[in-house]
Amino acid sequence: MARWLSGWPAVGALAAAMAAEGWDLSLAGGRGLWRATFHVSGREHSPAGAVHSPLATSPWRAVHLAAWRALAPGAPAPGP
């Protein structure tokens, strides 16, 4: 289970779940670091309406953190 949760199928599942809640995902990575950004669906993707993750060492962690920030603004980030 842990292997599945840290791989691309989990990233896709979380992106689909967030899309159902009205969010679009943008994911960027390079040099071993990843950043995920959620934008409100149907709006121009401007920085003003975006929710970013901090830099993470895996795509799953970046998407997880950005989703958490989008759905629970101001809440402390979940652990690893």
Q: pLDDT, tens digit, for every residue of 15-26?
A: 999 999 988 998
pTM for this predicted structure: 0.80
Of 63, 62, 21, 59, nearest to 40 (Cα)?
21
| pLDDT confidence of residue 52 | 83
Q: Domain ranges for the chain, please list them.
A: 20-71
CA angle 30, 19, 45 (to 5 degrees): 60
Copy the structure tokens of residue 17.
């779940």
| pLDDT confidence of residue 56 | 93
| pLDDT confidence of residue 4 | 72
The three-class DSSP label of residue 2 is: helix
Please say if the pLDDT value at position 34 is more than 70: yes
